[in-house]
Amino acid sequence: MAIPLTEETFRQTFHPPMRRLGEDESFRPVPLGGYIDQCIVELGLPTTREEIEVHHVYVSGDQRYTHVILFYGESNRYLVVVVAHPQDEIFGHRLLCLDTEYGLAPSP
């Protein structure tokens, strides 16, 4: 079962400085495929695991959380899977809409 995070809980996983990993860099990788499949079904996302794209990966400054930001095909909307360390297990997820979150105008 997918674990939705409240906005408050999600925000508590941010510890500055959040550092974006480079394309060839990894930090304590955790298999996400099954969890992503659950999110796609439970949230009704218009994508498949094969189509979803890793947009960015960020590690919190205290290295307690990794945020895997996934683009699922809708403009300015992302599925963020949060991994907890040192347990190296999925903590939960949050749907992020940049239009709402940051007052952006929807892309055409």
76, 104 contact by CB (below 8 A): yes
Q: Which residue has the tokens 């959040």?
A: 18
State pLDDT tens for residues 60-107: 999 999 999 999 999 999 999 999 999 999 999 999 998 888 777 665
For range 42-53, the mean pLDDT? 95
Domain assignments of the chain as residue spans, ordered by start: 7-102
SS (H, E, C) 33-54: HHHHHHHHHHHCCCCCCCCCEE
Nearest to 86 by CA among 57, 59, 54: 59
Q: How many CA atoms lie within 13 A of 50 on its CB side?
A: 0
